[in-house]
A and B are shown apart, each in its own frame.
Chain A
Amino acid sequence: MDGEKIKRLEEKAREIRRHIIRMTGAAGSGHPGGSLSSADIVTALYFEVMRIDPQNPRWPGRDRFVLSKGHAAPVLYAALAERGFFPVEELLSLRRLGSPLQGHPDMKKLPGVELSTGSLGQGLSAANGMALAARLDGRDYRVYVLLGDGEIQEGMVWEAAMAAAHYRLDNVTAFLDYNGLQIDGPVSKVMSVEPVAEKWRAFGWYVQVIDGHNMKGILQAVEKARAVRDKPQMIVAETVKGKGVSFMENMVEWHGVAPKPEEVERALAELA
């Protein structure tokens, strides 16, 4: 794989992380931890993998991305802005009255958002619906979806997992942002989801486990997933909550707390 390309994507991911810090800092609230943990995956999708056209966000043949863990809205907004769906300056309006950048993604307010999410557990079902529509219309677009590890405690996720396998939706590729932390503490303590890979395999999915911060690994996993026929694919991405900011990494406290101005400065210095 092209080393230059990987470097470019890694730099883009760093830029996305800087946006996440600035946005949540400016908003004074939001979810930096799970946004930072998924920044590499989202960057890979928006800047290398997906077939999209920012000038024509509703183009019927486009690939779709569903952010099922909707509280990671900052990472999606940063990627959309960097990709040209709307001006980067708008990022700082996050969570303000009248802003299209709602606390959780709203498809009616912001171009590029494929589904309004925020209430956990619902994104995979909708992704399946989009994938079924692609099949009915004879279109070859793919649907990517990002789930949180705490999120898969929602029963509806497993209803959707069953349905995707039953309908052989090989145009669905899901990522699990496995950072191991949720609001009340470690996922393993709150409500263990292990064995994760075996569960998805048992539900009929093609499963890979990867390092969710290795850009090359992410791209290779997507490539492998896309070659799979008759099965939906799950990429379990082992990640670090707060990745890239030393004082946020692996700290459950940074799930839903925004950095204060001096913390923004420290974080941006680390991400420079």
Chain B
Amino acid sequence: MKKIATRDAYGEALVELGRENPDVVVLDADLAKSTKTIEFAKHFPERFFDMGIAEQNMIGTAAGLAAAGKIPFCSTFAIFATGRAFEIIRNSVAYSRLNVKIAASHAGVTVGEDGGSHQSVEDIALMRSLPNMTVLVPADAVETRAAVRAAAQIQGPVYIRLGRPGVPVLHGDDFHFEPGRAVTMREGNDATIIATGVMVAAALEAAGLLEQEGIGVRVVNMHTIKPLDEEAVIAAARETGVIVTAEEHSVIGGLGGAVAEAVCACHPVPVYRVGVPDVFGESGKPGELLEKYGLTAAHLAARVREAVTKKGRR
């Protein structure tokens, strides 16, 4: 299967967007080559601002640009964008519902060799806790391009979570992306995997493995963490009786947290959260780290198998 990094798709999408909309401006914090905003910088140098290694000022400057009618996209690594600049995002951007887009790359453990200091596994939790913020986690290149377009249409702050390594392309060119509307990638009645980002591909693979054992798994691609598609979550709870969430993020406060909150309130069923346990990451190859933290199709399948067995005993 063809693999493209979501950050690469982001870089291309920005150029397209820049061509169509003169109000789109891009800011980076000395990581343009890594976040791929360098592509926009090449095409539209007058609309690209390198802010140096100063993430707080990057976000604050974007707030001012947005207040004056621009549509700024800010990029750096997820850890710095959402961690270093969190309170600026909260007070200068989200509090005023300013039209700032934060497209952060190198999220999760697949950053790899740089190690735990650079592996953001808290960013979804941080961003979804903010009023007015939309949180998008695209699963592949097609979804990334659509998410960037959608973000530009949304009036208000948007967080887009992007990854470093190549990931399989799951969607065809006819894919329709609607923020806040989950995509059912596969039908099944025994259990549901609700996955986001790079884990959507793993979820589909896990569902394939389980099918051979006679377990029918629904796979829901939750590309929008906020606003959460509660309808899709409740339907999964009601129709399949058990949910396993899958994300390359801490099991605390991310997709799993959001799904559990919705399920608890509306249709309680067991929710098992597959994600990075409550630990910091470490150096290693992306594949080794996904294996270590249980973020593989095989591990996901094992969790679903266990969940379905327990469900039978209830």
Q: Is B68 an interface residue (CB 8 A)?
A: yes
Asked whether, in the complex, the Cβ of A156 is within 8 Å of the Cβ of B51, the reply is no
Stretch at the interface among B7-15, B88-96, B164-172: B88-96
Q: Is B45 an interface residue (CB 8 A)?
A: no
Asked whether, in the complex, the Cβ of B64 is within 8 Å of the Cβ of A163, the reply is no
| 0/1 interface trace, chain B 280-314, chain A, CB 8 Å (1 if under) | 00000000000000000000000000000000000
Asked whether, in the complex, the Cβ of A159 is within 8 Å of the Cβ of B91, the reply is no
Asked whether, in the complex, the Cβ of A156 is within 8 Å of the Cβ of B60, the reply is yes
Chain A nearest CB: distance from B47 CB in Å? Answer: 7
Question: Quick one: which of B54, B72, B88 contacts A122, CB cutoff 8 A?
Answer: B88
| 0/1 interface trace, chain A 131-171, chain B, CB 8 Å (1 if under) | 11110110000000000000000011001101100110000
**What's the dominant secondary structure at chain B's contact region?**
helix
A126-B61, A129-B63 known; A119-B54 Cβ under 8 A: no
Per the bound structure, the CA–CA distance linking A30 and B68 in Å amounts to: 29
| 0/1 interface trace, chain B 136-176, chain A, CB 8 Å (1 if under) | 00000000000000000000000000000000000000000
| 0/1 interface trace, chain A 52-65, chain B, CB 8 Å (1 if under) | 00000000100010
Interface size on A, residues (CB 8 A): 35
Q: Is A130 an interface residue (CB 8 A)?
A: yes
Asked whether, in the complex, the Cβ of A125 is within 8 Å of the Cβ of B67, the reply is no
Q: Is A116 an interface residue (CB 8 A)?
A: yes
Asked whether, in the complex, the Cβ of B96 is within 8 Å of the Cβ of A116, the reply is yes
Per the bound structure, the CA–CA distance linking A162 and B52 in Å amounts to: 10
Asked whether, in the complex, the Cβ of A107 is within 8 Å of the Cβ of B66, the reply is no
Q: Is A128 an interface residue (CB 8 A)?
A: yes
Chain A nearest CB: distance from B45 CB in Å? Answer: 12
**What's the dominant secondary structure at chain A's contact region?**
helix
Asked whether, in the complex, the Cβ of B63 is within 8 Å of the Cβ of A125, the reply is yes
A125-B64, A126-B67 known; A132-B92 Cβ under 8 A: no
A108-B97, A116-B92, A136-B47 known; A129-B56 Cβ under 8 A: no
Across-interface contacts of B62 in A (CB, < 8 A):
129
Q: Is A218 an interface residue (CB 8 A)?
A: no
Within 8 A of B (CB), among A91-149: 106-108, 114-119, 121-122, 124-134, 136-137
Across-interface contacts of B277 in A (CB, < 8 A):
none
Question: Quick one: which of B63, B70, B88 contacts A136, CB cutoff 8 A?
Answer: B70
Asked whether, in the complex, the Cβ of B67 is within 8 Å of the Cβ of A115, the reply is yes
Asked whether, in the complex, the Cβ of B57 is within 8 Å of the Cβ of A132, the reply is no
Within 8 A of A (CB), among B77-126: 87-88, 91-92, 95-97
Within 8 A of B (CB), among A9-66: 60, 64, 66
Chain B nearest CB: distance from A144 CB in Å? Answer: 13
Chain A nearest CB: distance from B26 CB in Å? Answer: 12
Across-interface contacts of B56 in A (CB, < 8 A):
121-122, 125, 155-156, 159
Asked whether, in the complex, the Cβ of B67 is within 8 Å of the Cβ of A156, the reply is no
Residue ID in chain A nearest B22 by CB atoms: A136
A122-B60, A160-B60 known; A115-B68 Cβ under 8 A: no
Asked whether, in the complex, the Cβ of B96 is within 8 Å of the Cβ of A133, the reply is no
Most buried by B among A60, A118, A127, A128: A128
Query: Can you spell out 24 A-B residue pairs with CB atoms less than 8 angstroms apart?
Result: A115-B64, A115-B92, A116-B91, A116-B96, A117-B91, A118-B91, A119-B87, A126-B67, A127-B64, A128-B64, A129-B64, A129-B65, A131-B64, A132-B25, A132-B61, A133-B65, A133-B68, A133-B69, A136-B46, A156-B54, A156-B56, A160-B57, A163-B54, A163-B57
Residues of A within 8 A of B (CB): 60, 64, 66, 106-108, 114-119, 121-122, 124-134, 136-137, 155-156, 159-160, 162-163, 166-167
Given contacts A124-B60, A130-B65, A130-B67, 18 further A-B contacts (CB under 8 A): A108-B97, A115-B67, A117-B91, A122-B91, A122-B92, A125-B60, A125-B63, A126-B60, A129-B70, A130-B64, A132-B64, A132-B65, A133-B64, A134-B68, A155-B56, A159-B57, A160-B57, A163-B54
